[in-house]
Amino acid sequence: MRQVVQAVCTICATPPHNLCKAPAQTVQPHPHNLCSTVCTKTKTHRTMMKLSLIRTDNKQLRYLSTQLVTSFMTYLQSHPRKDGVKELRTLLKYIDDPTAHPDAAKRLPRVYPSEELMRNEDGTFVMKHFNGLLLLSVGGLRDEDEVERVKRAVRTLPSTLAAFTGSSGHSVKLLVRVARIDGSLPVGETEAEHFCQKAYPVAVTLYEALLGRSLGPTAMIVGSSFRLTFDPSPYHNPQAAPLLIDEAEAHQPLQPVVGDEAAEADEKTGRETRQLIQFIGEHYELRHNTMMGYTEFLPKKRMAIGWQPVDERVLNSIAMEARLAGLNVWDKDVSRYVRSNMVRQFNPIESYLWSLHGRWDGKDHIGRLIRTVPTNQTHWPQWFRRWLLAMVAQWLGRNGQYGNSVVPLLISNQGYNKSTFCRSLIPQELQWGYTDSLQLQDKRQVLQQMGQMLLINLDEFNQISPAVQQGFLKNIIQLPNVKVKRPYGRHVEEQPRMASFIATTNVADVLADPTGSRRFIGIELKGPIDVSVKPNHEQLYAQAMQLLLGGERYWFDEDETRELMQNNLNFQYRTPAEQLFMEYFQPAANEQEGRYMTAAAIYAELRRLAGAILKPSGINGFGRLLTSIPGLRHKRTMQGTQYLVKIKAEIS
């Protein structure tokens, strides 16, 4: 004769439990003491654990839902919000704070695995059941292979209920089963909170010993949560056995084997290192600035000072603070950690740009900026828009084969606000990336600044010699990357080129490349640039990001390049020899109209006509100058290249 067993379940503390309403046979207590009966629908109550998900909408209204843990593990593999997780992982490659981006991080629900929540009468969420789960996080993983290695490693512990990739793509979230020493679980939020405080250090020590690395700073509270994630192959062990916690004993670190001095020393070193990392994390934020090549710090108690480079003085200060706090560490221990790859990487320009992704208001802020520059050049709006997009593409690393190889050249009298306009192109928070004091004669400095600066203004461009224009400057403008040796570095490193160029001058005839200046956008101003209103940088670059991600072209095609070269003839620097040639000679259409002459013969004729203005040494490079003259025909002969010219009638 079967009867309904009226048992009190330690999960919900309500007699009878809904599963126990089914006819069942009274048996010995369950091994984990989760219930005094074996249910006919499931062997244990652990398969009925429910975790909670809380979603917050744009109006800050919060919505609660619950899922069985077993269902949630299936849900992780493919759910409607997985594209949002993938977008977040893309953004996290470039930005520091995912919560600053409303369209990616904030729309993903928070998952509370340790408790099943319910809404109270006043609308607040309170714990209904404690699941006997701890949330641990293994962070700072480099790639998918390292994520998978962690997931495989934690399978060896029987207390691992689940392991899956975190929403960042660079962490693993662990759900670890825990219970009291008698197999029971605490009832009520206060008991559960106290239990978690005891259980968390035990679990962390166990998993850190297994993985050989520190775990992320997950809070030791029952309300720990993580952002909804996506993992096509999570690990799930429904039969996981709980890690038994003796609440009567304070947690003690694992002790080394007595007599094994080497093991004892290793354990002591590891413990001290973990204490140092924890101390630094409590007092400082650290990040490795990948553009500048050094680690930066931010004191948590003095955040107003902003991020500062870590130098020897800072390292010594941290070491002294740690020793005063009772840690047995030295400055070299601090230096090794601060300068290791355990410190997160940070790219300031990519962080800035990706934080603006999707925030464009639809207005033409680029066009508004263009209209502040008064010029009669009808192609200026198209050319500047193309250049600005190329500059942003350069910052994003899209110019893989060629750098942003076009330079706007603003030409006018003094006082037309040219330098102010150039500086205003960079937002205040990125002004460290603007310079107008490049020393072209110091090639090492030039290459280093091309890897660290965002915009280089070649101010007073007319002071750059024709030889430098045609040689070094022409070469670096088109570089996609640079090879430099950092200060105190031991070897040459290849860095992506970040900087774009802009230039200003008060002289019109400044372009000295006789083969055609296709690297410049020569623009003569007809009045001062309007700098009375600062650009809306957030919207300006949000628009640029939208256009680039939408596929708008940011390079100059062949037709535009020909237009640039034709335009730049107006600003071409003419050598005395070239000016005299145009004065006395002109290209001939055929041999009846003119005759073929070598460059030396033409130069000798110019010296005869012009006298001492031309020096004999000036013949060097004169042939290259002739080759660049439009419409001048030439042919190869035994005497060298000959050019079809005729002497102007008024001279002959």
Look at the chain and report how many structural domains it folds into: 4
Same structural domain, 231 and 87 = yes
Query: Does any domain span residue 52?
Result: no
| Predicted local distance difference test score (pLDDT) of residue 42 | 34
Query: Nearest-CA neighbor of 560 among 611, 601, 521?
Result: 521
- Please state, in angstroms and rounded to a whole number, the distance separating the CA atoms of residues 207 and 157: 9
Query: Does any domain span residue 49?
Result: no
* Helix segments in 402-494, DSSP class H: 418-424, 443-452, 466-468, 474-477
| Residue ranges of E strands in 430-491 | 434-435, 455-458, 481-484
Model confidence at 516, in pLDDT bands (50, 70, 90)? low
Look up the domain containing 231 and give its range.
Answer: 80-103+130-245
Which structure tokens are listed for 245?
A: 């916690």
Same structural domain, 423 and 560 = yes
Model confidence at 483, in pLDDT bands (50, 70, 90)? confident
Which structure tokens are listed for 191?
A: 């008991």
Model confidence at 503, in pLDDT bands (50, 70, 90)? very high
Q: What is the dihedral of CA 400, 405, 406, 408, to 10 degrees?
A: 100
Question: What 3 state SS string does 82-117 have?
Answer: HHHHHHHHHHCCCCCCHHHCCCCCCCCCEEECCEEE
Question: 113-127, 320-334, 418-432: which has the highest mean pLDDT?
Answer: 418-432
Same structural domain, 333 and 453 = no
Of the residues 245, 277, 294, the one at which a domain ends? 245
Which residue has tokens 């955040």? 303
Vertex 161, ends 158 and 164: CA angle to 5°? Answer: 120
Of the residues 549, 571, 593, the one at which a domain ends? 571
pTM summary value = 0.59
Of the residues 245, 275, 296, the one at which a domain ends? 245
pLDDT by residue (tens digit) across 406-431? 999 999 988 899 999 999 999 998 99
| 37: CB partners within 8 A, 6+ apart | 5, 7, 20, 24, 26, 27, 30
Same structural domain, 325 and 380 = no
Same structural domain, 431 and 479 = yes
Same structural domain, 142 and 229 = yes
Same structural domain, 525 and 603 = no
What single-letter amino acid sits at 266?
D
Which structure tokens are listed for 152?
A: 């495989």
Mean pLDDT of 250-256: 42
pLDDT by residue (tens digit) across 527-573? 999 999 899 999 999 999 999 989 999 999 999 999 998 898 888 87
Query: Does any domain span residue 167?
Result: yes
Same structural domain, 177 and 275 = no
| Predicted local distance difference test score (pLDDT) of residue 28 | 37
